[in-house]
Amino acid sequence: MLDSVVANSATPLQMWVVLALVVGSLVFYGWERISLELTSMTIIAILLVFFHLMPLDDGAGNNLLGADTLMSGFANPALLTVLALLVVGQGMVLTGGVSYVAGLVTEHGGKNPGVAILIGLLAVMLLSAFLNNTPVVVIFIPIIQALSERIQRSPSALMIPLSYAAILGGMTTLIGSSTNLLVSSSLIELGMPALEFFEFTVIGTVLALSGFAYVMLVAPHLLPAMASMRSKLAAPDGSGKQFIAQITVGPASLMIGSKPVAGFFKNLPNVTIQMIVRREHADLPPFDENMEIRPGDVLVVAATRKALTEALQKDLGLLHAEAAAVYEEGGDEGANRASQLLAEVMVPPGSRLIGFNLEQIGFRYQYKCLVLGIQRRSRMIRTQMTEIRLEAGDVLLVQGRADDVEALRVIRDVVLLEWSTRALPRPFHARRAAFIFLGVIAVAATGILPIMVSSFIGAGLMIASGALNLRQASRSIDRKIVLLVAAALALGNALQLTGGASFVATQMLDALSGAPAPVILSLFFLVVAVFTNVLSNNACAVLFTPIGIGMAQKLGVDPHIFAIAVLMAANCSFASPVGYQTNLLVMGPGHYRFVDFLRAGTPLIILLWIVFSLFAPWYYDLPMSAG
């Protein structure tokens, strides 16, 4: 049984070189003094050179580990699917299509961020039990990102827990993971009954709930707040700077008919209205409770960049006065807002703009950008934005086409703050983006088309529909993921074909000879759980199922018990980004390093190993004496 999984022509030198590379890759990935990309490229290069000089002969003169095999990771369907899904998800983010869903989650979660996160991750775990967990994670990545912004929490504290929740949910039913189906298929090939749909649901639920408690209570505290640190240094939305902005209530605005409650308008959360201008009359706070917002009212507000853009995105009837004029001139809001950027520019000392207001400058006509707001640190301003005379140090929040914003770099009268540039959400494309997004998921979930095919079609439709352009699509692809997956698959192929994986597994299992069945089952689970973070989860399912069946037959216990152990352990791909597809999906949005998965995933693997070791022998009534 064991001999069937050992490579037939590999030399000991080849096997030991590959094992050394596996250990070295883990060390360098975790150390990260050398970039992950360079480490991955080095691993691939070493494998290419070594197996070119010492080919692994299949007996017919063919090199089993030639360049075509080792480089096949770059064309791996799983990798290409992940990249396409990242593009589809980016379309949802840029159009703001997930804001409504995120709002529902936070609404049901109340003001307690822990409850909101609990609802979101619990939904992921439940859905993953019956749907392919890859599309489930794709759906929830932008939702969790939006949720993290709403509750002012770093996305890096939630992205890995999101992936873990999906993996845990996939442990509970036969269709929850492709790994489960592979184990069942391996049983059939070995002449045994397949696993039933709910055969391992009880033990899977026990592990899933134990792991979910860890995901909620422990994992977020082990993850650095990299995204929030990044936002402080570079992301404009992380700033608490208040801009003075002037917006007009259009005839279709949701604000029409609104009245102040305790001096505030509920339709403008996190926005302070400094003045309401109606014709020639201006009202200052505190506003009378009988005041009612009417079409044409001009609101002078103080708000952060994030709050201001969210308000304009949520209520398309609220328009910057000049923006309304632009749309009227262009005739098509969608066309004029396509490829729009938000950016911040500072008025430097010596600028010719100092002492003039925006109307006198003619900023929109001169620079082809709209000024949405003015930020001044020295004092609070209670006047219309267009009447504010600019001073040195003022920061202007501007909106314009990408080319026009880029042109501000060479204007001496303003200084473009490089880190502040960000694509403007396009709510007018949200419906079509959501339709494409849900279509991709529905087609893949129902099995009409494979997830790879549907995701590629969806990515193409996102670009063709205008939800995002080619530059935005390319920026959503993380080169770290590409190189990491290619290197890991090359190592995995080498590890299997040289017999390294079987050698280590066999040695460890032989060392357990004579031990009681619960001990052997426990350590077997641990071996598979370790290997699933080096190889892929599917490779472990195929490799270790026959080994587990052989051990069960030797012990005289039901082979399905060891098959289920393989299934559960192979799903424990928590300590490596390459162990599971959903880990790759969250790596980019969470700005994670390799070591972050190791730090958060290792305790979870240990926890599930302990729970399985205690619960499984009792549940299956395994004898405690040596068999």
CATH code, 392: 3.30.70.1450
Annotate 430-472 with three-state secondary structure.
HHHHHHHHHHHHHHHHCCCCCHHHHHHHHHHHHHHCCCCCHHH
In a domain, 73, yes or no: no
> 340 with 441, same domain?
no
**Cα distance between residue 420 and residue 69, in whole Å:** 44
Cβ(627)–Cβ(555) below 8 Å: yes
Q: Tell me: cis bond preceding 348? Omega within 30 of 0 counts.
A: no
Please tell me the distance from the alpha carbon of residue 573 to that of residue 579, in angstroms, as a whole number. 5
Quote the pLDDT of residue 514: 72
Amino acid type, 353:
L
The reply to whether 85 and 208 lie within a common domain is yes
Q: Is residue 606 part of a domain?
A: no
Per-residue buried b or exposed e for 207-228, using 16+ beta carbons within 10 Å of the residue's own CB? bbebbbebbbeebbebbbebbb
Residue 228 has what pLDDT?
42
Q: What is the pLDDT of residue 117?
A: 78
Q: Using the 3D structure, point to which of 480, 498, 517 is the last residue of a domain.
A: 480
Tell whether 218 and 123 lie within a shared domain.
yes
* Same-domain check for residues 423 and 435: no
Residue 89's domain spans which residues? 80-232+430-480
Confidence (pLDDT) at 4: 40
Residue 614 dihedral angles phi and psi, to the nearest 5°? -85, -40
Query: CB 42: neighbour CB atoms within 10 A?
Result: 16
Mean pLDDT, each 10-residue run in order, the chain (627 residues): 47 87 75 76 92 84 85 76 76 64 56 73 84 71 74 82 94 81 76 84 96 93 63 44 76 82 74 78 75 83 75 66 44 47 83 87 83 70 74 84 82 75 62 80 75 84 83 75 76 78 70 83 92 75 76 84 93 86 82 88 96 95 71
Residue 569: closest CA among 516, 524, 617: 524
Other CB atoms closer than 10 Å to residue 202's CB: what's the count? Answer: 12
Residue 261 class from Cβ within 10 Å (0-12 exposed, 13-18 middle, 19+ buried)? exposed
Does residue 438 share a domain with residue 289? no
- Entry field: residues in the chain: 627
| 246 and 391 co-located in one domain | yes
Question: Based on the domain organization, do 261 and 215 belong to the same domain?
Answer: no
Predicted confidence at residue 626, as pLDDT, reads: 56
Does any domain span residue 208?
Answer: yes
**Relative orientation angle of helices 479-497 and 36-53, to the nearest 10 degrees:** 30
pTM, 2 dp: 0.59
Do residues 369 and 475 share a domain?
Answer: no
Asked if residue 510 belongs to a domain, the reply is: no
252 and 337 in a common domain: yes
Alpha helices by DSSP H, 32-132: 36-53, 67-70, 77-95, 99-109, 113-128
- In this structure, is residue 627 part of a structural domain? no
Number of compact structural domains in the chain: 2
Residue where a domain stops, chosen among 450, 480, 510: 480
Percent helix, strand and coil across the chain, each to the nearest 5: 60, 10, 30
Q: Are residues 248 and 140 in the same domain?
A: no
Judge contact between 353 and 345, C-beta under 8 A.
no
Residue 155 in domain: yes
The pLDDT value given to residue 29:
67
Using DSSP, state whether 340 is helix, strand or coil: strand
At 401 the three-state DSSP class reads strand
- Residue where a domain stops, chosen among 428, 444, 466: 428
Do 253 and 206 reside in the same domain of the chain? no
Residue 509 lies in a domain: no
Positive or negative, the Cα torsion across 378, 384, 389, 395?
Answer: positive
Six-digit token string for 30: 């975790």
Q: Are residues 265 and 123 in the same domain?
A: no
Which residues fall within 8 angstroms of residue 62, CB to CB, at 6 or more apart?
none
Residue 355 lies in a domain: yes
